[in-house]
């Protein structure tokens, strides 16, 4: 594949510039072992990808009763950073919230846990700072005054630079940001959320909130766990996680139209799905959770896909969004 000139965007209203395609490292240690992960990260840098996203919990089964493998993704990235010497070329993002042990304080967003979780991530990543430290989920049992106090301390100590959220509702973002504003702090620069052509729920309230506060969107699962890569052809392996939760049959009619549309554009369904996200002004970078170098290259190829107003309107017809609240349900 010919390399594509990478596009760089501001992460929300911050001055930080990140590659429009970000490397999602959730599969490292699970679906991709260290040799494959090293190859993917090497190729990512060659392609101009500078945003690497992981979480303390990545690397094993995402179940609180099975802690085996937790932290492995960060460890693999840390080994690669040490070997490659490319730490200063990378905008490194990780997350905290999920259980990392069996104790009552080994999870969520208390100041107690955030301090320890951050320090543990730094050890695994073999670095002295995290560029974007993200709250992996909302914790409505912990006051934002406590969360921001902990984040501000980590910033003051030079352990983190920016703060992001993930899987927040619109009102969670607003509450968090208004609390930060009251403390005269920068607050959130990004929100990482589920967003793709098959699931546009966040257009109702979350995206308007992000636009209002100048917070950049980082979509995860841009291919809807494989659904938007297209239906398997005859003889093609069908072992995809999408089959567990989003069977192709659910979107059968839409996928048929979508594949015809993509063929007329001369692009693959995976390229078009990611290109559509890149055409959304709120998107700062999208997470390409690549298990192989080839999957990463497909994501980067989406930068070459141009969608005019007519094409975007056709995608809206095939994959309609919910509209913006309250007009979407009131009048």
Neighbours of 65 (CB within 10 A): 7
Q: What is the pLDDT of residues 42-69, one digit of tens each?
A: 999 999 999 999 999 999 766 666 666 7
Residues labelled catalytic: 58
With beta carbons less than 8 A apart as the criterion, state whether 277 and 196 touch.
yes
Say which residues have a Cβ less than 8 Å from residue 317's Cβ, sequence separation at least 6: none
pTM score: 0.94
Is the pLDDT confidence value at 242 over 50? no
* Residue 236 burial (C-beta neighbours within 10 Å; 0-12, 13-18, 19+): exposed
Model confidence band, residue 317 (pLDDT cutoffs 50, 70, 90):
very high
What pairs with residue 96 in β-bridges? 135
With beta carbons less than 8 A apart as the criterion, state whether 268 and 230 touch.
yes
% residues pLDDT > 70 (the chain): 92
* Residue 87 burial (C-beta neighbours within 10 Å; 0-12, 13-18, 19+): middle
Domains of the chain, each with CATH number or no CATH: 8-318 (3.20.20.100)
pLDDT at 60: 74
Model confidence band, residue 244 (pLDDT cutoffs 50, 70, 90):
very low
Cα(101)–Cα(122) distance, integer angstroms:
17
Cα(294)–Cα(39) distance, integer angstroms:
11
pLDDT at 134: 99
Average pLDDT, rounded, for the chain? 93
Is the pLDDT confidence value at 16 over 60? yes
Cα(101)–Cα(97) distance, integer angstroms:
11
Model confidence band, residue 238 (pLDDT cutoffs 50, 70, 90):
very low
User: What is the CA 140 to chain-centroid distance, rounded?
Assistant: 22
pLDDT at 69: 73
Mean pLDDT of all residues in 8-27:
98
Out of 37-41, 215-219, 246-250, least confident range: 246-250
Q: Is the dihedral of CA 83, 87, 93, 99 positive or negative?
A: positive
**Which residues in the chain belong to E strands, given as ranges?**
8-10, 17-19, 21-24, 51-53, 91-96, 130-135, 160-166, 188-194, 216-220, 286-288
């Amino acid at each position: 594949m010919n390399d594509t000139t990478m596009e760089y965007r501001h992460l929300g209203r911050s001055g930080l510039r990140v590659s429009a395609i970000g490397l999602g490292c959730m599969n490292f240690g699970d679906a991709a072992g260290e040799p494959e992960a090293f190859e993917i990260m090497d190729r990512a840098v060659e392609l101009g990808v500078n945003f690497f996203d992981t979480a303390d919990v990545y690397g094993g089964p995402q179940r609180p009763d099975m802690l085996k493998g937790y932290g492995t993704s960060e460890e693999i990235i840390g080994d690669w950073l040490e070997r490659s010497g490319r730490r200063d070329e990378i905008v490194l993002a990780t997350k905290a919230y999920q259980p990392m042990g069996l104790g009552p304080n080994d999870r969520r967003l208390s100041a107690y846990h955030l301090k320890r979780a951050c320090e543990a991530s730094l050890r695994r990543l073999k670095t002295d700072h995290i560029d974007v430290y993200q709250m992996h989920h909302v914790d409505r049992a912990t006051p934002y005054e406590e969360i921001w106090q902990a984040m501000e301390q980590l910033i003051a100590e030079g352990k983190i630079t920016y703060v992001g959220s993930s899987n927040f509702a619109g009102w969670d973002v607003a509450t968090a940001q208004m609390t930060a504003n009251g403390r005269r702090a920068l607050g959130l620069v990004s929100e990482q959320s589920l967003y793709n052509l098959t699931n546009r729920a966040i257009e109702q309230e979350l995206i308007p909130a992000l636009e209002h506060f100048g917070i950049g969107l980082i979509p995860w699962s841009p291919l809807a766990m494989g659904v938007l890569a297209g239906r398997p052809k005859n003889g093609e392996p069908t072992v995809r996680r999408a089959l567990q939760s989003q069977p192709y049959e659910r979107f059968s009619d839409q996928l048929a139209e979508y594949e015809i549309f993509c063929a007329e554009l001369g692009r693959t369904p995976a390229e078009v799905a990611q290109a559509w996200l890149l055409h959304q002004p709120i998107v700062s970078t999208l997470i390409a959770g690549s298990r192989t170098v080839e999957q990463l290259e497909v994501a980067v190829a989406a930068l070459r896909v141009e969608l005019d107003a007519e094409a975007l309107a056709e995608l809206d017809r095939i994959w309609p969004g919910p509209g913006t609240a309250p007009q979407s349900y009131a009048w």
